[in-house]
Each structure stands twice: as structure tokens, then as C-alpha cells.
């Protein structure tokens, strides 16, 4: 069964064509900077890689370009779009409506559209990807996998806010959590790894660090708490998002400093986090400038990792124990400095980092803790596309 995974961002498309159930990646690639004259396009199989810089006006043009390469006489891997059995779409916000992988219908699309206000950077692009894929892959099943689904196992005391009850019962205002596909994938891999080594695997904390960041407490394979809430703004310090903030700051910005509600939203979503603290949103730039003595960058790194450490402490309490922590996603997998800052002076939680192991880069699961450490420190490369493919395949089988 051939399943193509579409992960549509506001200005990007990541994709993988995967043969199931073998999990063989037939081809993969991405388009970024959609809407600009200098969009970057990549397409790779086991034997060939295509890289181009060209204008990609919108998601429709981008997906048409992908389908052309898939069927190309020289580098293509399928004869026609009818060779695709299913299209799996990453959808960020499923609200309280979607707790499972779902076959896409007109009603499902309408509910995704209604949730766009809760994930304005993501759901509109996800919906656009669905609409365009329906036009191109006309014979394929279109299936949505929701980032919020993994977190639906949180107990009510974790997801409910201390606000009047009717706001939950009538308006569904609650914590939903995000990056669920990634957290599910890496926590499952961690449990398999620890079981095989005959190590404790009951209580795990998964730390997803990219431009967006979140941390999740996983007990017996199920999410019991996560840092992102009603929208993806709360929790850890992120690339451009503020993370946790006193709600009164918002009222102060509006009433005293004359910000509009839209301006506050833009401030917290796009102008805060590491960008607001340093002027840079790319961690590599921040680390380089911090090494050169930039005090704003040094403080931002300290604030970022201090917030993560606080969450580790609170989640260890919620779990009533800690067997392992996981670092994953672009920053979590690649930044030895961030991992070291997080794990420094965390001996009480059994976290003891092996600095030499921490410098090793690999695409495989690896331990970076000392041999005698009580708690495992794991680096696990995430693979949201493969997790989506597995969920799509399971749905179609049943």
C-alpha cells in the first residue's frame, strides 16, 4: 500500500511517499518559502536527489510540482496518481472533536476550518493541503492525523482550566496539547528501547524542541500532561512564541499601552520567544552570538533551559517518578549545548550527562547519560511522517 504523507505549513510542504506495511520510504522532500520567487524544492529517492530554486506561488502549485516529479519518466516512482492508495495529512488542532485518526469528509473539513482560530499558523495551511490533495490524488483516501489526539488521555484535572465550568462544557475551552504525533512516536520508541534493555519504562518525559517547543509527561505509554494548552502558544520558550505568561500582561498591553487584540496576538505568536529576547529566531545564530559574548543571547539560552528544567520537575511529580527523558526534533536532536544546559545540576532527578556521548550525532536512538545514571537521557530522532503513515495504515486495515 502506497501512502503519501503531506505536512503543510503556512509557507512549506513536507512530504514522504511510504510503502506500507514495510515502512519503506520511496521518496521524500519538501518545499519551503512558498509564495516567494525563490522557493526551495527538494525531491529524493534512494538513487536520485533533485534540488531546485524556483517560484512556487501557493500550495496548489507546490503539490502539482510534487506530483509531476512522482510520475516523471526519469526520476518518478509511480505511473499515475491512482497508484497512491491514501494521503495522510497532519492537522495541528483537532479540538475536542477528534481524538483518533479520521477519514476526511466535507463535515470533517468544516470542523477543521472552525478550529483555524485556535491554530492560526497551522490549521489553515493544513486545510489548504487537504483541498489541493483531493484535486490531485482523486482516487486516494484522504485521512487526517491530529497533533492533539495523543493528548486526549490527559485526566480532567490536567486539561481543565480554573475558569467557570460553562466555558468548558459549552465552548470547549481547555488544554489540548500539540506535537502529539511526535511525542507518541518517540515515547513509543523509548519504551521499546528500554524494554529491550530490561530497564524501567513506566515514567517518561518527552521534550520536543524545534521552532515550536513542548514537553509531555507519558505514563505507561499514555499522555497525562503536556505544556501546550488551548493553543500552541503556552509552555516552553519557543522560536517566536512567548510560552507561559501572566494573562494580566495581555490586559496591560491592551489597556495601558494601547495594543489591539490582534497586535497582542501577533506579539505573542510571532515576535516573542527567542526572537523577542535576542533578535534571532534560529538557535544556531543565538548560540554563536552567545559564544561571542552577546549577553542577550546568553540570557535567552538560560531562560529557555530554565523553563524546561522547571517542567521536568513538575512532571516528575505528576508521574511520581522518572525513568527517562527524551530529547527530540531539530533542536533537541542536534543541539548538544541545549541538552547540557537542561541536564546540568539535575542530579536530584537522576540526570547525569556524559559530555562525550552528548557530542555524538546519529540518526539512531542513543543514550547520553553516564553508565551509572539512575535516569536514562535519550536522544530519539522523531519521524512524524512515519507515525502518520502507521496510523493511516491501521485505520484502512480496520
Binding residues for ATP: 14, 208-212, 282-284, 330-334
| CA separation for the pair 104, 314 (Å, rounded) | 38
Q: Which residues are annotated as a binding site for Mg(2+)?
A: 7, 384
The DSSP 8-state label assigned to residue 152 in this structure reads G
- Residue 119 grid coordinates: 491554530
CA 167 to CA 163: how far, in whole Å?
7
Q: Are 298 and 335 in contact (CB under 8 A)?
A: no
DSSP letter (8 states) at residue 134: H
Nearest to residue 207, comparing CAs of 137, 312, 279? 312
The Cα–Cα gap between 7 and 172 comes to 26
C-alpha closest to that of 54 among 67, 65, 70, 68? 65
Q: Please give the Cα distance from 159 to 216 (Å, whole number).
A: 13
Question: Please, are residues 185 and 382 in contact by the beta-carbon 8 Å criterion?
Answer: yes
15 DSSP β-pair partners? 6, 29
Q: Which residues are annotated as a binding site for substrate?
A: 90
Catalytic residue list contains 246 = no
Dihedral (Cα; 55, 59, 61, 64), 10-degree rounding: 130
Active-site annotation holder among 72, 85, 147, 285:
147
- Angstrom distance (rounded) from CA 145 to CA 308: 27
Residue partners of 392: CB distance under 8 A and separation at least 6:
3, 5, 20, 86, 88, 101, 143, 145
Binding residues: 7, 14, 90, 208-212, 282-284, 330-334, 384
Measure the CA–CA gap between 305 and 331, rounded to whole angstroms. Answer: 12
3-state DSSP assignment of residue 270:
helix
Question: Which uninterrupted H or E stretch holds 327?
Answer: strand 324-328
Q: Which helix (H) or strand (E) holds 276?
A: helix 273-278
Q: Provide DSSP, 197-262.
A: TT---SEEEEEEESSSEEEEEEETTEEEEES--SSTTSSS--SS---S--HHHHHHHHHTS---HH
At 141, phi and psi to the nearest 5? -75, 135
**Catalytic (active-site) positions:** 147
Amino acid at each position: 500500500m502506497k501512502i503519501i504523507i503531506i505536512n503543510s505549513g503556512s509557507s512549506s510542504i513536507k512530504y514522504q511517499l511510504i510503502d506500507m506495511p514495510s515502512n519503506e520510504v520511496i521518496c521524500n522532500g519538501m518545499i519551503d518559502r512558498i509564495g516567494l520567487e525563490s522557493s526551495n524544492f527538494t525531491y529524493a529517492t534512494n538513487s536520485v536527489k533533485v534540488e531546485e530554486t524556483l517560484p512556487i506561488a501557493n500550495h496548489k502549485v507546490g503539490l502539482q510540482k510534487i506530483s509531476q516529479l512522482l510520475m516523471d519518466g526519469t526520476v518518478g516512482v509511480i505511473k499515475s496518481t491512482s497508484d497512491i492508495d491514501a494521503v495522510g495529512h497532519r492537522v495541528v488542532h483537532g479540538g475536542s472533536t477528534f481524538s483518533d485518526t479520521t477519514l476526511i469528509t466535507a463535515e470533517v473539513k468544516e470542523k477543521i476550518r472552525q478550529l483555524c482560530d485556535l491554530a492560526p499558523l497551522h490549521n489553515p495551511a493544513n486545510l489548504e493541503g487537504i483541498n489541493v490533495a483531493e484535486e490531485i490524488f482523486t482516487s486516494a483516501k484522504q485521512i487526517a492525523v491530529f497533533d492533539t489526539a495523543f493528548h486526549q488521555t490527559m485526566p480532567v484535572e490536567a486539561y481543565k482550566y480554573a475558569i467557570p465550568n460553562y466555558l468548558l462544557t459549552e465552548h470547549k475551552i481547555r488544554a489540548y496539547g500539540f506535537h502529539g504525533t511526535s511525542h507518541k512516536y518517540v515515547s513509543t520508541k523509548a519504551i521499546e528501547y528500554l524494554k529491550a534493555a530490561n530497564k524501567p519504562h513506566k515514567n517518561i518525559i518527552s521534550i520536543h524542541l524545534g521552532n515550536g517547543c513542548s514537553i509531555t509527561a507519558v505514563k505507561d505509554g499514555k499522555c497525562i500532561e503536556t505544556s501546550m494548552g488551548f493553543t500552541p502558544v503556552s509552555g516552553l520558550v519557543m522560536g517566536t512564541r512567548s510560552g507561559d505568561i501572566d494573562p494580566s500582561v495581555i490586559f496591560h498591553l491592551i489597556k495601558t499601552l494601547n495594543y489591539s487584540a490582534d497586535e497582542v496576538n501577533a506579539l505573542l505568536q510571532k515576535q516573542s520567544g527567542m526572537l523577542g529576547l535576542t533578535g534571532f529566531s534560529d538557535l544556531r545564530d543565538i548560540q554563536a552570538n552567545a559564544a561571542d559574548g552577546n549577553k542577550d543571547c546568553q540570557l535567552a539560552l538560560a531562560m529557555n533551559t530554565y523553563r524546561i528544567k522547571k517542567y521536568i520537575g513538575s512532571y516528575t511529580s505528576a508521574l511520581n517518578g522518572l525513568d527517562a527523558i527524551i530529547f527530540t526534533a531539530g533542536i533537541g536532536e542536534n543541539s548538544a549545548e541545549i541538552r547540557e544546559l537542561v541536564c546540568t545540576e539535575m542530579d536530584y532527578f537522576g540526570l547525569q550527562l556524559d559530555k562525550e556521548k552528548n557530542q555524538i550525532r546519529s540518526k539512531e536512538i542513543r543514550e547520553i547519560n553516564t553508565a551509572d545514571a539512575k535516569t536514562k537521557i535519550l536522544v530519539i530522532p522523531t519521524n512524524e511522517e512515519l507515525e502518520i503513515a502507521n496510523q493511516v495504515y491501521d485505520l484502512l486495515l480496520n
